Amino acid sequence: MAVFWAAARVIVGFVFLWSFLDKLFGLGFSATAGWLDGRSPTSGFLQHGASNGPGVFFRDLTGGGGGWLDWVFMITMAAVGLGLVLGIMTRLAALGGIVWMGLFYLSTYAPTDNPVVDIHVVVVLVLVGIMLSGAGRAYGLGRWWESRWTSGRAPWLLGG
């Protein structure tokens, strides 16, 4: 099981890391222009489902993207991705990923593919499994990280 959860951790981590890189540089996958080119990395998810439901809240949050939310988005995408890929602060990174997946789900509600269970829900379940399995300790830097940084400081959250 350790190999499965380690692989899931790295794969989901790369999803977040790729989102960061694509939105930073505009690599042409989900973002045609990058943050470095002056495009707001949050404009897509803020505008996607903004015509009704909870999506309206996200559109109105910053007036369509930009500002402080871009910084929060980019920093946390990089932190979640690196934490999961490297296996450090895995529980905290997974918790951050769960929060973002929940926000993405709400911003696009109701999903067009399946109004109950879409990919965001599946990723949340995988992230919960990563949190509960200690996936950062297997094939990651989790054991090293715990021995250096968590001695008495919330090992349940920062650990692998």
Residue pair 120/105 in contact (Cβ under 8 Å)? The answer is yes
pLDDT confidence band for 40 (50 / 70 / 90): confident
pTM, two decimals, is 0.84
The per-residue pLDDT for range 60-119, each reduced to its tens digit, is 665 545 578 889 889 999 999 999 999 988 999 999 999 999 888 877 766 666 767 788
Q: How far apart are CA 146 and CA 143, in angstroms?
A: 5
Neighbours of 115 (CB within 10 A): 9
The per-residue pLDDT for range 132-157, each reduced to its tens digit, is 998 888 888 888 877 776 555 666 55
**Residue in 129, 126, 146 with CA at minimum distance from that of residue 137:** 146
Contacts with 159 (C-beta within 8 Å, 6 or more apart), sequence order: 90, 91, 134, 136, 137, 142, 145, 146, 150
Neighbours of 83 (CB within 10 A): 29
Contacts with 71 (C-beta within 8 Å, 6 or more apart), sequence order: none
Q: Ramachandran region of residue 34, left (φ > 0), alpha (ψ -120 to 50) or beta?
A: beta
Q: Which residue has the tokens 């054991």?
A: 143
CA 60 to chain centroid: 22
pLDDT confidence band for 3 (50 / 70 / 90): very high
